[in-house]
Structure 1
Amino acid sequence: MYAIFVFIVSHPNLISGMAKYLFYNHQISFYRFKNRLSKKLILNQDNKIMNISYSKLIFLFLFVCLLQSKQIEIQRKQTGNSVYNEAYNQSQINTDFSSGSLEQSYNFITQELNNIDDYQYVVQIYIGQSKEPFNFLLDTGSNILWIPGTECNLQDNHCHTKDIYDYSKSQTAIVNKDKKIEIQYGQGKCEGYLGSEYIRIYQESQPFKAEILFTSSDKDMDGMQSHGILGLSNSKSTKNYLEYAVEQEIISSSVFALELKNLPDISYFYYDNIPEYKLSNTIFVNTASKERWLIDVIGFYMNDSDYTDSSNQTVLIDSGASFMHLTKSLYDKFIHNYASNVCFYQYGEYVCSCQQEILNQNLPIIKFYTQEGILQISPQDYVIKKGQKCILAIDFQDTFDFNILGDVLLRKYFVIFDKQKQQMGFGNVENKIQHLQPLSMLIVFSIFSVFTFMLLCAVIYKVIILKKGQYQQEQDQEQINQTLLGNNIQLNLQDLERRSSYSARSSS
């Protein structure tokens, strides 16, 4: 029965075609029935055709259901094997943090992130042959690795930090000063010269060459607590530093994952493959762009209210954004319908109550529906502590036609970024992600009932047609018999009259 439900849900076009096929045959039979008196032989031919059609249809339906059930059985076996191997994979993981911030296993690397007040998540990598350590903001929303360069020392140039990488003292750095590159962010920008230099993922790893933007100045970056930004977007036109490491055989895979947490919990950056025990509750969603980590959204809800429109068909998963940035229309509806009841605007931000019960009563659960599952964010996720007060971690942006889900979402889900397969994974060990069924069971039962009813009607219609045909044949035969009998009686009467007339003439 489950296979039948899955078949109906996953093959709507085939079901529609089967229904049309049934009705088409019925329509042909109806028109032929109208001419049965003059073309009686067609009835028997139709019976054979209809019987063959129904047999083929039922056989096709059962065959597809059988294939679907086999596929489900295979998937269940694969899932069972994955769960069975989980204990073995966990036993292989080295949990000894001898370096204090790095976990290296036989098939993946885990690096501890520096969480700056739940606003920025920073990773440390080493630049140049001298292994100078620098902190970088992990940013899945941009595609460039940049660091303040030699020109930041100039008096007229403004850079957000005095800690620079002086590439003029490096024998391995290559810098192209023919063209200055500018990068514009949602807030702030920087400019500088593209070049390359050796990088180490961690201090004792092998070095590899990667492209770097050495900035000469930046603007509106004073709030950034890292030296530079490590771009990890989905851009096909630009390689990230993990792809350079794979090319030079330092690591085996460019897949990475983020597990961000609120303080005091530790946040982690996984790369060079993903541990198996993190995949058991993961769903994978195909990306909607080859330049950004965008995914398609088929529904946007606040509690049970549908706010889906053309402005929220895609969302960007951006670790460089501390807040969730909605489009202006959605943001206005959220503030007017919900946030204004429990939050007030003060000094450029919305200050809310810190009592969880009040927040849950007045603020909605925000749900982003994808084809594979539901990403939902609760009030305790998007109302965050800032000193002694609680603020709303939702803002608006009118630069792009998509919503931006920043650290607010990434703190809720373990998120995998697979650039090679163009997909993202969402999951965590606490099973917070809810799978979205393509249709509810009620709708599935309704579709199945309608299909069964259609098939039953077709069978009843067939029986009625046959009965009518048989009845009509009997009526026709009776009429023929009566006609023949009437003709015989008339001939007999005429013959008797002739004989009586002949006898009378003979006697006279």
Structure 2
Amino acid sequence: MKWLLLLLGLVVLSECMVKVPLRKVKPLRDRLREDGKLKEFLEKYNVDPATKYYPSMYAQVSNEPMTNYMDMQYCGTVSIGTPPQQFNVQFDTGSSNFWVPSVYCNSYACSNHNKFNPSSSSTFQSTGQSMSAGYGTGSMTGVFAYDTLQVGSLSISNQIFGVAYTEANFFYQMPFDGILGLAYPSLAADRATPVFDNMWSQGLLSQDLFSVYLSEQGDSGSVVTFGGYDTSYFSGTMNWIPLSSESYWQITVESVTMNGNVVACNGGCQAIVDTGTSLLAGTSSGIANIQSAIGAYQNSNGEVSVNCNSMGSLPDIVFTINGVQYPVPASAYINQNYCTTYLQSTPAGFWILGDVFMRGYYTVFDRAGNYVGLAPIA
């Protein structure tokens, strides 16, 4: 444009005035309309001038229903590819990668799960880069790829995910096909961008947070809400707890008490809030102290049990976090049918506030402020 203006200026100033006829160019929209390509162009490039000035108008809050599988896993349905292929995934705040089995997986664990077929998706793009992910109960290997992901009402374009080639046998028993990690990018293998980060960066969410409600066994209504939280799920005040590390959803616990006596975390300890862990896990000394306090013993099956007649009188396990007490009653940490505990020691050096804890508290995971919000279930 600058050279054209300069040229026109020279022409005007020239002693030999020459009139240069300008050809009228038809607007792009008119040309596309005449060629029958206007609709295709608008759909492909989403030509909407309002998105430049008001991107929040197109953001939303999306609810993803989850099914409670015997208080062990909470899973929901997502779709990958064009046309969409459906998968049941565990929404896991204790990891960051997203992966599903593929048709190339010959592992025993893949034999009874839905498998992604890359050749059936017109939007699939393989990177050829290998990936692996490990969990407390098993691992997987595969390659990274990109495709369109549908979660609830959200369509996430160019989402990187793992196409699994091998899976540990443990996953055969699981009700989910794959895992969708919701922790921070620093935990992701090869720093692959997590699903939630893409939801936010693509302007799909009204707020940079998500929330989780976990129902009791036999009850419906479990849900992960992207972009907001629902006050009808909790009572009282939402307490906001600053993260102590931005990798896991990690917070500081000031103490763990029973009947007013400190049984663990004397002077403070670290804990992560993890939807992907069904139990309440802690340091070996802390769990041993709790088991001693409730008179637990190892039964013939190797499980840790309590006297069934004493269950009604067992004390709460109380976590004090950011000055607020969060009691976990015996009805939550004891299997009422078998009188066994949902407690487990871990060598990790921190506590894991898994589903046993979270069923009692509506939880908000706030990426904008790096907080975990907790409030008692309504």
Could you tell me the TM-score, scaled by structure 2's length? 0.76
Describe how 1:18-57 pairs up with structure 2 within 5 A: none
Unaligned runs of 5+ in 1: 1-105, 431-508
Q: 1: distance between equivalents of 2:294 and 2:305?
A: 13
CA contact (8 A) 1:184 1:190 kept: yes
- Matched residues, percent identical? 21
Equivalences, count: 313
1:238 CA drift (Å): 5.1
Structure 2 counterpart of 1:396, one-letter code: S
Asked if residue 109 in structure 1 is aligned to residue 62 in structure 2, the reply is yes
Q: Determine the C-alpha separation between the residues in 1 that align with 2:307 and 2:86.
A: 41
Aligned residue number for residue 22 of structure 2: none
Aligned mates of 2:109, 2:174 — CA distance in 1: 14
Residue in structure 2 matched with residue 403 of structure 1 by the alignment: 351
State the distance in 1 between where 2:122 and 2:258 align. 56
- Counterpart-to-counterpart distance in 2, 1:128 and 1:253: 26
One-letter amino acid of the structure 2 residue matched with residue 186 of structure 1: G
1:300 aligns with 2:261: no
Which of these residues, 54, 72, 90, is aligned with residue 119 of structure 1? 72
Match of 1:29 in 2: none
Structure 1 residues 373-421: Cα deviation after superposition (integer angstroms, max 9, x where no partner): 1122110111124xx52421111111x1101111001100000001221
Greater shift, 204-213 or 292-301, is seen at 204-213
**Alpha-carbon shift at residue 252 of structure 1 (Å):** 2.8
- Of 314, 317, 325, 2:273 maps to 317
Query: Cα distance, 1:160 vs. partner?
Result: 6.0
Is the 1:293–1:318 contact (alpha carbons within 8 Å) kept by the matching residues of 2? Answer: yes
Q: What corresponds to 2:89 in structure 1?
A: 136
- How far apart in 2 are the matches of 1:300 and 1:228? 34
Which one of 238, 262, 268 corresponds to residue 223 of structure 2?
A: 268
Mapping for residues 211-290 of structure 1, pairs under 5 Å:
211-219=160-168, 220-236=170-186, 239-266=193-220, 267-277=222-232, 281-290=237-246
SS of equivalent residue, structure 1 residue 244: helix
Q: Report the 3-state secondary structure (helix = DSSP H, G, I; strand = E; otherwise coil) of the residue aligned with 1:134.
A: strand
| Aligned pair partner of 1:149 in 90, 97, 102 | 102
- 2:193 aligns to what SS in structure 1? coil
Q: In the alignment, which residue of structure 2 is the partner of 1:371?
A: 322
User: Does 2:113 correspond to 1:159?
Assistant: no
Q: Distance in 2 between matches of 1:383 and 1:337?
A: 14
Whether contact under 8 Å (1:312, 1:401) holds in the other structure is no
User: SS of the residue aligned with 2:82?
Assistant: coil
SS in 2 for 1:150: coil
- Pairing of 1:67-86 with structure 2 (within 5 A): none
Contact in 2 for aligned 1:312/1:402 (Cα 8 Å): no
Q: 1:428 to 1:190 in 2, by over 3 A?
A: same
Task: Output the CA distance in 2 between the equivalents of 1:311 and 1:159.
Answer: 45
CA distance in 2 between partners of 1:144 and 1:332 (Å): 33
Distance 1:294 1:207, change over 3 A: closer
CA contact (8 A) 1:110 1:269 kept: yes
Give the drift of 1:312.
5.9
**What letter is aligned with 2:121?**
S
Q: SS at 1:331's partner residue?
A: helix
Residue 338 of structure 2: aligned partner: 389
User: Structure 1 residues 181 and 429, CA, compared in 2 at 3 Å: closer, same or farther?
Assistant: closer
Higher RCO, 1 vs 2 (CA within 8 Å, ≥6 residues apart)? 2
Quickly say closer, same or farther: Cα 1:309–1:206, change in 2 above 3 A. closer
CA contact (8 A) 2:64 2:151 kept: no
- SS of equivalent to 1:296: strand
Aligned-partner Cα distance in 2 for 1:339–1:315: 25
Cα offset for 1:315? 0.9
Distance 1:107 1:371 in 2: 31
SS in 1 for 2:176: coil
Offset of 1:423 from its aligned partner?
A: 0.3
Q: What is the CA–CA distance in structure 2 between the aligned matches of 1:233 and 1:140, rounded to whole Å?
A: 5
Task: Tell me the equivalent position of 1:426.
Answer: 374
**Which position in structure 2 is the counterpart of 1:209?**
158
Q: How far apart, in 1, do the equivalents of 2:332 and 2:156 lie?
A: 39
Tell me if structure 1 keeps the 8 A contact 2:253–2:265.
no
How many Å apart are 1:303 and its aligned residue?
A: 2.1
Alignment partner, residue 285 of structure 2 = 329
Instruction: Return the alpha-carbon distance in structure 2 between the equivalents of residues 301 and 329 of structure 1.
Output: 13
Seen in structure 2, the aligned counterparts of structure 1 residues 206 and 213 have a Cα distance that, compared at 3 Å, is closer
CA shift in 2, pair 1:312/1:224, >3 Å:
farther
Larger Rg: 1
| Cα distance, 1:177–1:413 mapped onto 2, change above 3 Å | same
Residues 403, 312 of structure 1: alpha-carbon distance in 2 compared, 3 angstrom cutoff: farther
Evaluate the alpha carbon distance shift between residue 206 and residue 146 of structure 1 in structure 2; reply closer, same or farther with a 3 A threshold. Answer: closer
Residue 277 of structure 1 deviates from its aligned partner by: 4.8
The offset of 1:354, in angstroms, is 4.9
Q: CA 1:162 to 1:110, structure 2 compared with 1: closer, same or farther past 3 Å?
A: closer
- What's the CA shift string for 1:90-142, capped at 9, x where partnerless? xxxxxxxxxxxxxxxx9533232111111110011111111222110111101
Bigger strand fraction: 2
* 1:173 counterpart = 2:127: no
For residues 471-499 of structure 1, give each alpha carbon's deviation from its aligned partner in whole angstroms, at most 9, with x where no partner exists.
xxxxxxxxxxxxxxxxxxxxxxxxxxxxx
* 1:317/1:346 CA distance change after superposition, 3 Å: farther
Secondary structure of the structure 2 residue equivalent to 1:221: helix
Equivalent residue, structure 1, for 2:311: 359
User: Does the 8 Å CA contact 1:364/1:379 hold for their aligned counterparts?
Assistant: yes
- Let me know the Cα RMSD of the aligned residues: 2.4
For residues 170 and 327 of structure 1, what CA distance do their matches in structure 2 show?
46
Compare 311-320 and 272-281 and name the one that shifted more. Answer: 272-281
Q: Distance in 1 between matches of 2:266 and 2:376?
A: 30
Distance in 1 (CA, whole Å) between partners of 2:140 and 2:200 is 28
